Amino acid sequence: MKKQQTTLVDKQYLIPFVLLTSLFFLWGFAHAILDVMNKHFQELLSITKTHSAFIQATMYMGYFVMAIPAGLFITKHGYRRGVVLGLLLYGIGALLFIPGQHWMSFNFFLFSLFVIGCGLTFLETAANPYVTELGPRETAASRLNFAQSFNGLGCICAPLLTGLLLFSDDDSIGNGNIALPYAVMGVIVLLVAVVFSKVRLPEISHEVEKDEAGHQVGLWSHRLFVFGLVALFAYEVSEISINSFFINYVVDQHWMNARSASLALSFGGLSFFMVGRFLGSWIMRRIPAEKMLLGCALGTIVTTFIVVLNLGWISLSALVCGYAFEAIMFPTIFALALKGLGNHTKRASSFLMMSPVGGVVGPLLMGYVADCTTIAWAFLVPLAGYVVVGAYAWKMVSVMK
């Protein structure tokens, strides 16, 4: 086996890499803030866990609806314009929370989140594959994991800031200023859009892949890409489901109140998540990404099964540790699925960015199971998703040369 490449980013692409990495923080914040909003709306509007799961479902439906149009737009107009359009939609959707706060309409909040989801689709469809191309192919997964580590930083900040804002120490229910974090976020995102509209990102061309007979190879003939697409969907089911009901799980077990649980999510689970990505990026510069993915998949299966067993503080510890194991999954699967796709890369990326529709399926299913049984049994939903990821990782290791 060849020695693993250690160069993370080619020198000529360093500035684009730094600029794009800043985007990962912004959409990490947008994702993680939902986990606090989920519990807050349950208390504020007296709705069930299944109903509150529409917060995640609506935003991630934006990925499913907009992924293909985003891929077509980026293929025609390039990565930079795709990023700018994504930032504009993100910013507009965030500012829509201001009239939403005035009307206190749950449906209007859902519409605002859908617009944000559409914007994030453009951002991620452009940024994820672009980052994989900014250096040696062998370190693509490591490079994307490093950039996505700043996604983890955004995930830590969101529950911390919004949890302190919306939840009180005495568990009393107040409206809070739901629009404030989104309004600030919207202004920042629109300013970043101005920056990206002025900078020049080099476009990366891909060769057309042909078979032995000289015919162009179709995207869907790449079976490992198809399996990667399924695995990425399964991962999204698991990750988003767990994030959605972390606070519910901790509160239902009477370990702490919602305010403290939001802090535990930031300093516990999501801190482990960010550290897991930085550490995973470093490790994958030395060992194959396929083997790293397999080890982490086994880790998530074990920790999630312990949560299902409902063993008290042992299960809570397993839940937090699971964040470290799952941290590298999305960028690693994404990078492996794009491997060797050549001119299909942009189109393939748009299909991969449909996978967050798992954020529609997972929380709704997990919320329904929790309402019908217990929150611990509901963790069977993410457990099933991690088993699929484990099967994909096993397959990728078996085909390594």
Convert the pLDDT of each residue in 292-332 to its tens digit: 999 999 999 999 999 999 898 899 899 989 999 999 999 99
5 burial (CB, 10 Å; 0-12 / 13-18 / 19+) is middle
In this structure, the dihedral spanned by the alpha carbons of residues 201, 147, 301 and 401, taken in order and rounded to 10 degrees, is 70
What pLDDT is stored for residue 53 in this prediction? 75
Token pair, residue 217, equals 């190879």
Share of the chain above pLDDT 70, in %: 89
Direct distance between the N- and C-terminal alpha carbons of the chain, in angstroms, rounded to an integer: 7
Angle at 173 between CA 170 and CA 176, to 5 degrees: 110
Q: Tell me: pLDDT of 95 over 80.
A: yes
Residues facing residue 210 across a β-bridge? 216
Q: What is the mean pLDDT of residues 380-396?
A: 97
In angstroms, the CA 86 to CA 229 distance is 22
Single-letter amino acid code for the residue at 145: N
Q: Tell me: pLDDT of 275 over 90.
A: no
Token pair, residue 266, equals 């930031």
Q: How confident is the model at residue 346 (pLDDT cuts 50, 70, 90)?
A: confident
What pLDDT is stored for residue 205 in this prediction? 67
CB 277 within 8 A of CB 24: no
Q: Produce one character per residue of 364-381: b if its CB has 16 or more CB atoms within 10 Å, e if not.
A: bbbbbbbeeeebbebbbb
Share of the chain above pLDDT 90, in %: 31
Q: What is the mean pLDDT of residues 103-113?
A: 86
> Domain for residue 209, yes or no?
no
> Domain for residue 1, yes or no?
no
> Domain for residue 112, yes or no?
yes
Residues facing residue 216 across a β-bridge? 210
Domain containing residue 30: CATH number: 1.20.1250.20
Q: Tell me: pLDDT of 189 over 70.
A: yes
In angstroms, the CA 111 to CA 61 distance is 11
What pLDDT is stored for residue 39 in this prediction? 67
> Domain for residue 156, yes or no?
yes
What pLDDT is stored for residue 318 in this prediction? 94
User: What is the residue range of 368's domain?
Assistant: 11-199+218-398
What pLDDT is stored for residue 167 in this prediction? 58
Q: How does pLDDT run across 24-49, given as a tens digit for each residue?
A: 888 888 877 876 776 667 777 677 77
Q: Tell me: pLDDT of 357 over 90.
A: no
In angstroms, the CA 90 to CA 129 distance is 20
Closest among 347, 78, 399, 382 to 229, alpha carbons compared: 347
Which ranges in 199-312 belong to alpha helices (H)? 223-252, 258-264, 271-283, 289-309
Q: What is the mean pLDDT of residues 141-160?
A: 80
Residue 76, number of CB atoms within 10 A of its CB:
10
CB 119 within 8 A of CB 88: yes
Q: How does pLDDT run across 199-247, given as a tens digit for each residue?
A: 877 777 666 555 454 545 677 788 899 999 999 999 999 998 998 888 8
What pLDDT is stored for residue 157 in this prediction? 77
221 burial (CB, 10 Å; 0-12 / 13-18 / 19+) is exposed
> Domain for residue 4, yes or no?
no
Distance, CA of 243 to chain centre: 10
Closest among 9, 25, 277 to 143, alpha carbons compared: 9
Q: What is the mean pLDDT of residues 276-284?
A: 88
In angstroms, the CA 359 to CA 367 distance is 12
Token pair, residue 257, equals 């109140």
CB 59 within 8 A of CB 114: yes
Distances (CA, A) of 189 to 26, 78, 79, 247, 315: 8, 20, 17, 27, 38
Q: What is the mean pLDDT of residues 3-20?
A: 75
- What's this model's pTM, rounded to 2 decimal places? 0.76
Single-letter amino acid code for the residue at 6: T
Q: How confident is the model at residue 173 (pLDDT cuts 50, 70, 90)?
A: very low
> Domain for residue 210, yes or no?
no
CB 62 within 8 A of CB 116: yes
223 burial (CB, 10 Å; 0-12 / 13-18 / 19+) is exposed
What pLDDT is stored for residue 176 in this prediction? 56
What pLDDT is stored for residue 321 in this prediction? 93
φ, ψ for residue 210 (rounded to 5)?
-130, 155
In angstroms, the CA 297 to CA 1 distance is 23
> Domain for residue 206, yes or no?
no
Residue 264, number of CB atoms within 10 A of its CB:
22
Count of domains in the chain?
A: 1
φ, ψ for residue 315 (rounded to 5)?
-65, -40
Q: How confident is the model at residue 1 (pLDDT cuts 50, 70, 90)?
A: very low
What pLDDT is stored for residue 11 in this prediction? 81
> Domain for residue 333, yes or no?
yes
